[in-house]
Amino acid sequence: RPLIINPLALPKITQVMLLTAKIINRPIRATPTTKTQTISLLGLLMSLRPLLLTVKTTHLTTRTMLLTTRTTLLTTLTTLPKTRTTLLKTRTTLLKTRTISLLVPTRTRPPLLQTAMTMRH
């Protein structure tokens, strides 16, 4: 289902995406890539697509950052072998982070970086 984005939340979304790219790029014990793993990472990319498409029309900096993140994700897809568990964890982290940044009322929202750090472990 489409994600409705408040334009005011865009800088937050950019942060989420950049953090996601960082999380995905963490060095992981190399194992042979299976079809399942590739599909999982593709799933992750697909869940980012609505975000990327929605933000297309906003100011250039945000757009450039998002496109850079997208490139990072696509590069990751082709270069880094992953374990299924890691991919599922990453996707969960992404969804949690995105939900927190967009849906939690501002007064109860923890700092984004702290949130991402907590979830990384």
**Residues 13-23: tens digit of each pLDDT:** 565 665 665 55
pTM higher than 0.85, yes or no? no
Domains of the chain by residue range = 7-120
- Each residue of 77-92: pLDDT tens digit? 555 555 555 666 666 6
Kindly tell me if the per-residue pLDDT of 114 is higher than 60.
no
pLDDT at position 78? 54
Angle between helical axes of 35-55 and 10-24 (0-180°, round to 10): 160
- Cα separations in angstroms, 58 against 1, 32, 47, 66: 21, 39, 20, 11
Mean pLDDT within 24-33: 46
pLDDT band at 8 (very low <50, low <70, confident <90, very high): low
User: What is the spatial distance between Cα 14 and Cα 63, in angstroms, rounded to a whole number?
Assistant: 9
